């Protein structure tokens, strides 16, 4: 999971990209990067850390130009501790291309070997984003065959990329002297949208990055679709996949995206409310509502679901945990030990008199804690009980049942 943004404007874009990345910071905390173009030259700065720490005034002044890209990184492939794998990635031929990518390629290892042995391209990191960049560069070079680049050649190259690459990918690329290219995998697993303002066209992972910077959301990039924005701001679009169909990652709606985003025409907040309705049906089938004292969300993403659950079951809704807002998103921190320590620092239990109903402060008292998602990945198994050792104030509740708002998975996610 990452957050990406691309801008073509008639004014300098460095501050706009910075502001958009701040609005997408929840999608990645490990590294951040911005590249801009002035005339035919790229100016780039990237490093590990949060957006506000990576970019100082001197860095922003060194990013001139009226078009550019940005990314905040949460590593799902490659080396989480390597600064070299911060994006954007750059390749000098053909034309000069920089790329930002949100997603995960499932055939990255096979593609890397193919790029080396057949296409004679060198990959210098373990990042699948660099693999994707070189596939795109090779297909652009093969399509143009030394001729000038036009829009149809760009779309032909993207069509070939779709046939070679497997997995999830939302991509924004800047081609030197030509314009900005954006495309989405044929299943639309990762989100990407386009918006506009006076003299500006903006691409971003979530609609909040558009609305928060004063731009209007126009639409989502369709699965398999490619959009090319030339340096004059003209937008060209074409479907480049053979059989596109929308099958977005449900984890975007459960946890990853901000609740005030709209993705593929669906409000993330409303999706979480709907999950609360489904959860109410499941709870009733497992636990009689008369045995439940209170519904408590585990901040932040489960709150809409917990509120809807409490309303439908006719139960009190209470805040049982206080969130430390100065601790980042624990899910996207590298390493289980770091995540576990940060959870202890992040969540504190409400223990003051009157903070919870009296029955909840006694041992053996029943409650339902509605949590966000815990997919069965390297972060450990999904818990249906809150383990007392995992949170401050341990030992306070013995009958504390956790109900995940995440629907039951039928197949394992391979492209997170």
pLDDT tens by residue, 4-37:
999 999 999 999 999 999 999 999 999 999 999 9
Cα torsion 238, 243, 246, 249 to 10°: value is -110
Contact 395, 361 (CB under 8 A): no
pLDDT tens by residue, 269-303:
999 999 999 999 988 998 888 888 888 888 888 89
The pTM assigned to this predicted structure is 0.86
- Helix or strand or coil: residue 3? strand
188 CB burial (10 A radius; 0-12, 13-18, 19+): buried
| Matching residue, tokens 């057949």 | 118
Q: Where are the domains of the chain?
A: 2-248, 280-404
pLDDT tens by residue, 220-233:
999 999 999 999 99
Contact 320, 350 (CB under 8 A): yes
> Which is catalytic among the residues 2, 67, 193, 249?
2
Contact 3, 209 (CB under 8 A): yes
Of 260, 356, 365, nearest to 316 (Cα)?
A: 356
Residue 340: its H or E element: helix 336-346
Q: What is the DSSP letter of 407?
A: P
CATH of domain 2-248: 3.60.20.10
- pLDDT at position 317 over 70: yes
| Matching residue, tokens 């911005």 | 34
Q: What is the DSSP letter of 317?
A: B
- Helix or strand or coil: residue 111? helix
pLDDT at 288: 86
Q: Is 359 designated active site?
A: no
pLDDT at 385: 33
């Amino acid at each position: 999971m990452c957050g990406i943004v691309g801008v073509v404007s008639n004014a300098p874009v460095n501050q706009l990209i910075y502001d958009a990345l701040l609005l997408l910071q929840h999608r990645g905390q490990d590294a951040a990067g911005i590249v801009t173009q002035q005339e035919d030259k790229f100016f780039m700065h990237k490093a590990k850390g949060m957006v506000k720490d990576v970019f100082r005034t001197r860095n922003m002044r060194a990013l001139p130009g009226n078009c550019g890209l940005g990314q905040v990184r949460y590593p799902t492939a490659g080396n989480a501790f390597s600064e070299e794998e911060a994006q954007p990635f750059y390749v000098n031929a053909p034309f000069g291309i920089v790329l930002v990518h949100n997603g995960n390629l499932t055939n990255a290892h096979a593609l890397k070997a193919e790029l080396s042995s057949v296409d004679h391209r060198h990959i210098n990191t373990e990042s699948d984003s660099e693999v994707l960049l070189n596939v795109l560069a090779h297909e652009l070079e093969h399509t143009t065959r030394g001729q000038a680049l036009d829009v149809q050649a760009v779309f032909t190259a993207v069509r070939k990329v779709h046939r070679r690459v497997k997995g999830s990918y939302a991509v924004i690329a800047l081609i030197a002297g030509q314009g900005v290219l954006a495309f989405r995998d044929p299943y639309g697993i990762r989100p990407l949208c386009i918006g506009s303002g006076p003299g500006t066209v903006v691409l971003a992972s979530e609609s909040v990055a558009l609305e928060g910077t004063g731009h209007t959301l126009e639409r989502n990039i369709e699965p398999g679709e490619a959009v090319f924005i030339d340096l004059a701001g003209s937008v060209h679009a074409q479907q480049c996949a053979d059989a596109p169909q929308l099958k977005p990652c449900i984890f975007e709606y459960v946890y990853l995206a901000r609740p005030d985003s709209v993705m593929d025409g669906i409000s993330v907040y409303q999706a979480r409310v709907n999950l609360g309705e489904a959860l109410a049906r499941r709870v009733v089938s497992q636990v009689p509502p008369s045995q439940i004292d209170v519904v408590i969300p585990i901040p932040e993403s489960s709150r809409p679901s917990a509120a809807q659950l409490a309303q439908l079951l006719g139960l009190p809704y209470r805040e049982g945990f206080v969130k430390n807002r100065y601790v980042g998103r624990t899910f996207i921190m590298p390493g289980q030990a770091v995540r576990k320590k940060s959870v202890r620092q992040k969540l504190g239990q409400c223990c003051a008199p009157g903070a919870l109903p009296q029955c909840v402060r006694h041992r053996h008292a029943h409650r339902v804690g509605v949590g966000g998602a815990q997919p069965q990945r390297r972060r450990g198994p999904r818990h249906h009980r809150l383990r007392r050792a995992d949170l401050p104030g341990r030992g306070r509740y013995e009958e504390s049942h956790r109900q995940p708002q995440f629907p039951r998975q039928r197949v394992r996610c391979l492209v997170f």
